[in-house]
Structure 1
Amino acid sequence: MSPHSDSATGHRQHRTGGEDGTASAGAHRPAVRWVLAGLSLSVLLSALGTGIAPVGLPTLAKVFSASFQEVQWVVLAYLLAVTSLVVGVGRLGDLVGRRRLLLAGISLFTAASALCAAAPTLWLLVGARAAQGVGAAVMMTLTMAFVGETVPKERTGSAMGLLAAMSAVGTALGPSLGGALLAGFGHQALFLVNVPLGIAAFLLSHRHLPADRPARGADGARFDHLGALLLALTSAAYALAMTLGGGRLGAPSTALLLAAGCGVAFFVRVESRAASPLVRGALLRDPVIGPGLASSALVSTVMMATLVVGPFYLSRTLGLGAAPVGLVLSVGPLVAAVTGVPAGRLADRFGARRMTLLGLLSMTAGALVLSLTPVSLGVLGYVAPLAVVTAGYAVFQTANNTAVMADVGPDRRGAVSGMLGLSRNLGLVTGASVMGAVFAHASASADIASASPGAVATGMRFTFLVASALTLVALATVAAVGRTEGRTEGRPTEDQAA
């Protein structure tokens, strides 16, 4: 085992390079920087598509003479498309070729962005945003899958860190860039900004990504259409229940949750009988992949607490105006952007599992400090532990992605990358709803926007106490991997297990 090997996961046969398509230490080296440039732009675009639209909702409501509930679908259509399709498009890339599918996704995203800008009606805009979300699902999923194919294994962590940093940059840039474009050029600019970036991402990817190889496998693997449809509908039902319910279990949300539960049961049954399943049971039983997906969902749930609680605490309790609140909230994504690449290098050097644990410990410590923060410490008392939480998240995300993707065979990288994206997105929508409900309940106020400063402070502290408990659960989940791994050395790979 090389000095750069992860002590928990090791580098088994899928990471040895050669004929399976995995990048060896010398493969593709001259083009790696250009490959990463194209992949980074794709990640930036998908993150920007998520973060830039919400700032334009008040303007869109005026332009189209629509209610807030109606213009909210501009955000929801994108979110639902991404959440419901990430696993399916990842598996499709494994079968038809990741390069051609990624180029198609970039093209769709770019064309849909232009259509969003030109849309004469709200519902055409919503449809264009859904198409944009389909393209984003492809870009978010396949960029990570390409790392194992194009980057030398000793630099995998650094590459994952770069992609995580670009995602954070897109998230941080969205609100501020959107506000500037909205003020200077109108709502069309929110979408037109993607067009030149999309063209650049397409040209870089077309020029430098390796050609697709024919899918391997004697069984002539086919795309699992029924499994993909069931997973898409189930994910969409859950995301709608969490988003539209706002943390309250009304009749529509309850019905959607029941539908999602039935969808899970049907999906498991279909996958157990499929000749070429979308998600193999061996993947979820893997002692690294299963806990990695679970901890990713938990951590994403926690990260939404910073977006749910932060604006109210900063404005209601600390008395900040809109501009200072936006500035303070941008600290978190900026910290993640700065931390991403160094975190990847540390994962390459010290092992992904160790850095995953370190990231979770940092998140737990930061959340605990926030749960104890007195109002008298002001903005600094909130920002400093928030920076610790966000830096820990950047370390966790980079190391966890590296560990989960480390030993996945080339014919399943897209599917596993999609599962990582799905776990993250489901965690985000769960956090927006559940952590929002926890915050409102702890504040003991029917309308959090009019709650007293003291009530909001109490709600903030309790919410981050719950957040620290969730990160402890994630920490215990990942820590158990080391004990399990020691007992499963030499186990069959997921391809053999299937």
Structure 2
Amino acid sequence: MSRSATPPGIGFETAGRRSPTWVLTALSLSMLLPSLSISIANVGLPSMAAALGASFNEVQWIVIAYLLAITTLIVGVGRLGDMVGRGRLLVIGIAVFTVATLLCGLAPNLFLLIAARALQGVGAACMMALAMASVGAVVPEHRTGSAMGLLGTMSAVGTALGPSLGGMLIATFGWRAIFLAVVPIGVLALTLTLPMSADTAAGSTARRFDVLGTVLLAVTLGAYALAMTVESFGALTIGLLGVAGAGSVLFGVTESKVAFPLLTLGMLRDPVLAVGLATSTVVSAVMMTTLIVGPFHLAGALGLGPAAVGLVISAGPAVSALTGVPAGRVTDRFGSRTMVIAGLVGIIGAALTLSVMPTAAGVLGYVLPLIVCTACYATFQAANNTAIMKDVAAQQRGLVSGMLNLSRNLGLMTGASVMGAVFARAAGTRDVTTGTPAEIARGTHWAFAVAALLVGVGLAAVLGLRRRLPAT
């Protein structure tokens, strides 16, 4: 992969005539809205099921359709942004997201609501990929970590704000308000970003968009994502994983033969990119443990009520939101590689602590390691994103940003399935919702022990990379 200093006059460098603070505000909203739209919809599922006369399995597709659209398209839209102009496509993405959000709020039935959520995911994919890709052209290199920390903070703010804001809106105005209330924020983001629509192509050497490669990658990722959402491992899961495996082979063959591939597989020979993407996937999968296992442990092992469980779980995103910007500044000060290692070591330490913490330690014994874990995760994200993005050539920023976001999404989906399975198997009960406190605690301890082991593998890869590359 080509890594070079940003050449002048390409892509968002045209935004240099505007205030970097103003541009970062627009990009921050582009990160906040997609994450807010995930968490705010989750809290509304029971109300939507009752209002639309749907089962729980049916309303789950309100969430799945959104995540599937993001996962399958985020690499393709990143590449397309490199070709036609990141600013132009970002504006289109925000417009699509805002219109789709309005349609969600007005949807008369479940089918149209799911369709509108899928369209909303298309816009969200553009926003997530292109906002991060634009940082290198907006701020100087020595402030890249701070900017990445800010975008990570805004994403965490959206995740943390969703449940409380959604609950308040539903209680006051009904479930449609969780979508309609987002529309004005989308209009604001569109207004702030509209001047960027004059952005020219970002300098990509590709003259044609790889439609076949994009379709194959979308099918592959979609099949894998669906396999991770199936509740029990059976014939359907095996079939979907088979489709994903076959699709990945076909994608690799196709990309080696087309003149202008979506993804040059040789890019993954860049050790910084390969290790960064792999570690991002592993760490995201591990962090999902706190969201999947945490509620069961707090309720089943520690005996907390629903309100208290929600309060404790929200501490994670809240800490990420508070530490994102400081983590970015520390990354600028001490270097991205050093802070990647520091973040991973902190996550391992917190996970190991949770793997041996007795239930007698109470809520505090869970919350303190959780705070350390999420703060170190924010540090890792800011540093890893900086390490990957800061030296990427301008014509590849959208593509690499899409790959980075994809690695995180795949990690979250995989973690929800794999870490949930580890927890259930270690608990030794058929139904963890009725397990004894001792069974739930045993499952929690094993899940976090496996989490620590997985992050340890990622740390070993990062340390190996550090020995091979000169210090920065």
Q: Does 1:222 align with 2:200?
A: no
In structure 2, C-alpha distance between the alignment counterparts of 1:38 and 1:251, rounded to whole Å: 45
Partner in structure 1 of residue 383 of structure 2: 399
AA at the equivalent of 2:394: P
Partner of 1:194: 182
Choose which of 154, 160, 165 in structure 1 pairs with 2:142.
154
CA contact (8 A) 1:234 1:260 kept: yes
- Residue type matched to 2:8 in 1? G
Shift of 1:338: 0.7
Q: Distance in 2 between matches of 1:381 and 1:273?
A: 55
Partner of 2:8: 18
Q: Match of 1:468, as an amino acid?
A: A
1:61 to 40, 49, 57: 49
1:350 is aligned to 334
Question: What are the Cα deviations for residues 311-346 of structure 1, in whole angstroms up to 9, with x where unaligned?
Answer: 111111111111111000010001100110011111
Indicate if the aligned counterparts of 1:287 and 1:485 stay in contact, CA closer than 8 A.
Answer: no
Inter-CA distance 357–22: structure 2 relative to 1 (3 Å threshold): farther
Q: Shift of residue 22 of structure 1?
A: 7.7
Other structure's SS at 2:252 match = helix
Instruction: Give 1:463 shift.
Output: 0.2
Please identify which structure carries the higher helix content: 2
Q: 1:483 — aligned with what? A: 467
Shift of 1:57: 1.0
C-alpha distance 13-271 of structure 1, shift in aligned 2 (>3 A): closer
Which of 119, 126, 129 is the matching residue for 1:138?
A: 126
User: Given that residues 32 and 150 in structure 1 are in contact (C-alpha distance below 8 angstroms), is that contact kept between their aligned partners in structure 2?
Assistant: yes
C-alpha change, 1:444 and 1:154, in structure 2 (3 Å) is same
Query: Is the partner of 1:411 in helix, strand or coil?
Result: helix
1:274-313 mapped onto 2 (5 Å cutoff): 274-313=258-297
TM-score when normalising by structure 2: 0.97
1:408 maps to: 392
Partner of 2:357: 373
What does 1:37-436 correspond to in 2, within 5 Å? Answer: 37-207=25-195, 209=196, 211-216=198-203, 220-244=206-230, 246=231, 248-436=232-420
Q: 1:143 to 1:214 in 2, by over 3 A?
A: closer
Q: Is residue 94–residue 189 contact of structure 2 (8 Å, CA) maintained in 1?
A: yes
Amino acid at match of 2:4: H
Instruction: Provide the C-alpha distance between the structure 2 equivalents of 1:479 and 1:210, rounded to a whole number of angstroms.
Output: 42
* Cα pair distance change 1:454/1:195, threshold 3 Å: same
Residue 193 of structure 1: how far off its partner (Å):
1.5
- Counterpart CA distance in 2 for 1:376 and 1:423 is 37
Deviations 1:274-298 (A, max 9, x none): 2111111232110100100000000
Structure 1 runs (4+) greater than 4 angstroms displaced: 19-24
SS in 2 for 1:14: coil
For 1:13 and 1:124, locate their aligned partners in 2 and report how far apart those are by CA, in whole Å. Answer: 44
Letter in 2 for 1:213: T
Counterpart-to-counterpart distance in 1, 2:242 and 2:225: 12
Deviations 1:383-410 (A, max 9, x none): 0001111011100011101111121111
Contact map agreement 2:11 2:85 (CA 8 A) in 1: no
Q: Is the CA contact (8 Å cut-off) linking 1:343 and 1:394 kept in structure 2?
A: yes
Q: Does 1:442 align with 2:426?
A: yes
SS in 2 for 1:221: coil
Any unmatched runs of 5+ in structure 2?
none
**TM-score normalised by the chain length of structure 1:** 0.92
**RMSD between aligned residues:** 1.8
SS at match of 1:276: coil
Q: Does 1:467 align with 2:451?
A: yes
Q: Aligned in 2, Cα 1:42/1:216: closer, same or farther, shift over 3 Å?
A: closer
Distance 1:398 1:226 in 2: 33
**How far apart, CA to CA, are the structure 1 residues paired with 2:32 and 2:206?**
35
CA-to-aligned-CA distance 1:417-446 (integer Å, 9 cap, x gap): 000011110000000000000000000011
- Structure 2 distance, partners of 1:409, 1:22, is 13
**Residues 131/265 of structure 1: CA separation in 2 closer, same or farther (3 Å cut):** same
Is this contact kept in 2: 1:367–1:465, CA < 8 A? Answer: yes
**What is the Cα deviation at residue 474 of structure 1?**
1.0
Q: Tell me, in whole angstroms, the C-alpha distance in 1 between the residues paired with 2:424 and 2:17.
A: 52
Contact 2:28 2:154 in 1 (8 A): yes
Q: Which SS does the other structure have where 1:216 is aligned?
A: coil
Q: Contact 1:352 / 1:402 at 8 angstroms: preserved in 2?
A: yes
Q: Deviations over 1:451-491 (max 9, x none)?
A: 0011000100110000000110111111122123249x9xx
Cα offset for 1:119? 0.5
Q: Distance in 1 between matches of 2:402 and 2:3?
A: 22
Q: Helix, strand or coil for the counterpart of 1:18?
A: coil
Q: Where does structure 1 lack aligned partners over 5 or more consecutive residues?
A: 1-8, 490-498
Letter paired with 2:49: A
CA–CA distance in structure 1, aligned partners of residues 351 and 312 of structure 2: 17
The share of aligned pairs that are identical, in percent, is 56
Instruction: Report the CA distance between 1:216 and its aligned residue.
Output: 3.3
Q: SS state of the match for residue 19, structure 2?
A: helix
Q: What per-residue deviation string (whole Å, max 9, x for no partner) do you get for residues 340-381 of structure 1?
A: 001111111111111111100110000000001011110000
CA drift at 1:106: 0.5
**SS of equivalent to 1:15:** coil
How far, CA to CA, are the matches of 2:327 and 2:406 in structure 1?
Answer: 23
Contact 1:15 1:22 in 2 (8 A): no
Give the distance between the partners of 2:171 and 2:9, measured in 1 at CA.
53
* Contact 1:23–1:153 under 8 Å retained in 2: no
